[in-house]
């Protein structure tokens, strides 16, 4: 064996030839940045609590990334302590300016499984798969995260496919019963729903859009999941407003489904039609 071959691989790549050096630089520049999770402890937590909470969010993030694609940016996760609550995650919201992240308000007395069974982390992390679209389009963003949360919980093995469909049905039917704006399109009424804090009605009315689009994509042999995978890989780090986002998703799916279904939500009065989407 010659002395040359015993050099470490990195040394050979760097100094073996000019061609290898360019190859290495090309790989470094073009390989997608792997998301790191950056933990921020905003209140006092014990080492044991930190282990439990990081495991919960790490497992959920891994499921989102397996289901769709690795996040092309670091995730910043903030924990705030809320003692003696009736649920493990009484409140959470995303952070979208400058950094991409989630604030979790947690009661760390709950066991790990209670956190894994909760929909909040799948919901909040799903929000980060698409850009922030502004308050006016909250129905679209919340509909998206609500649709995705149960897909992610199925990916995690927390819910079966049948349980996912049952949850969609219960929540969408309840939202339709509560909806009181039959004289106007859902996209317009959503602003009023938000003002009146009728959040579940806004969320699950919005989710009908994604149930609808996904069902139609599946008829074409693709799915919302596969289109999102392409989107996160190619385009997520660009800023998109709602029109640009739906056009990009149309382009990636080679359909007009995203923009046409959006136009329907803006034109047709009443709660979005959903009975034909339920399995």
- Residue 45 or 150: the one with the smaller Cβ distance to Zn ion is 150
Q: Toward Zn ion, which CB reaches closer, 120 or 253? A: 120
Between 142 and 212, CB nearer to Zn ion? 142
Instruction: Give the shortest CB-260-to-Zn ion separation in angstroms.
Output: 25
CB atoms within 10 A of CB 137: 20
Element (H, E) at 188: helix 186-195
**Closest C-alpha among 93, 94, 86, 79 to residue 49:** 79
Closest approach of Zn ion to the CB of residue 11, in Å: 50
User: 133 with 248: CB under 8 angstroms?
Assistant: no
Residues that bind Zn ion (CB under 5 A): 142, 145
Q: What is the dihedral of CA 143, 38, 66, 107, to 10 degrees?
A: -60
Query: What is the distance of C-alpha 18 from the center of its chain?
Result: 42
Please state the closest distance from residue 57 (CB atom) to Zn ion, in A. 16
**Count of Cβ atoms closer than 10 Å to residue 126 Cβ:** 26
Measured distance CA(45)–CA(150) in Å, rounded: 29
Can you give 168-180 as a three-state secondary structure string?
Answer: HHHHHHHHHHHCC
Nearer to Zn ion, 145 or 159 (CB): 145
Q: Which is nearer to Zn ion, 57 or 145 (CB)?
A: 145
* Least Cβ distance, residue 202 to Zn ion (angstroms): 10
Report the candidate in 57, 97, 47 with the shortest Cα–Cα distance to residue 77: 57
Task: Compare residues 79 and 203 and give the one whose CB is closer to Zn ion.
Answer: 203
Q: What is the smallest separation between the CB atom of 164 and Zn ion, expressed in angstroms?
A: 18
Give the residue nearest to Zn ion (CB).
Answer: 145
CB neighbours of 146 closer than 8 A, spacing ≥ 6? 123, 171, 203, 204, 206, 207
Q: Tell me how crowded residue 230 is: count the other CB atoms within 10 A of its CB.
A: 17
Could you tell me the end-to-end alpha-carbon distance of the chain, in angstroms, rounded to an integer?
65
CB of 4 to Zn ion, least distance (A): 57
The total number of residues shown for the chain amounts to 279
Residue among 125 and 145 whose Cβ is closer to Zn ion? 145
Q: In angstroms, what is the minimal distance from the CB of 61 to Zn ion?
A: 16
């Amino acid at each position: 064996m010659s002395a040359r071959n015993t050099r470490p691989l990195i040394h050979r790549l760097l100094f073996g030839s000019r061609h290898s050096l360019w190859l290495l630089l090309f790989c470094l520049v073009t390989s997608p940045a792997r998301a790191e999770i950056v933990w921020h402890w905003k209140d006092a937590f014990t080492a044991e609590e930190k282990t439990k909470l990081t495991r919960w969010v790490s497992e959920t993030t891994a499921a989102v990334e397996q289901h769709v694609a690795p996040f092309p940016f670091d995730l910043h996760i903030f924990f705030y302590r809320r003692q003696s609550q009736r649920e493990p995650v009484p409140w959470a919201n995303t952070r979208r300016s400058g950094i991409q992240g989630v604030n979790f308000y947690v009661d760390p007395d709950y066991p790990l499984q209670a956190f894994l069974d909760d929909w909040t982390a799948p919901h909040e992390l799903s929000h980060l798969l698409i850009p922030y679209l502004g308050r006016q389009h909250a129905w679209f963003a919340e509909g998206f995260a609500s649709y995705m949360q149960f897909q992610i919980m199925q990916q995690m093995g927390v819910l079966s496919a049948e349980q996912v469909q049952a949850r969609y049905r219960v929540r969408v039917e309840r939202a339709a019963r509560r909806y009181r704006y039959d004289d106007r399109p859902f996209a317009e009424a959503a602003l009023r729903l938000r003002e009146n804090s009728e959040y579940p009605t806004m969320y699950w009315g919005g989710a009908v859009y994604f149930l609808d689009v996904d069902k139609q994509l599946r008829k074409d042999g693709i799915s919302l999941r596969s289109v999102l995978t392409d989107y996160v890989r190619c385009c997520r780090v660009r800023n998109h407003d709602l029109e640009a986002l739906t056009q990009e998703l149309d382009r990636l799916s080679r359909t007009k489904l995203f923009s046409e279904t959006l136009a329907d939500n803006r034109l047709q009065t009443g709660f979005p039609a959903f009975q034909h989407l339920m399995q």
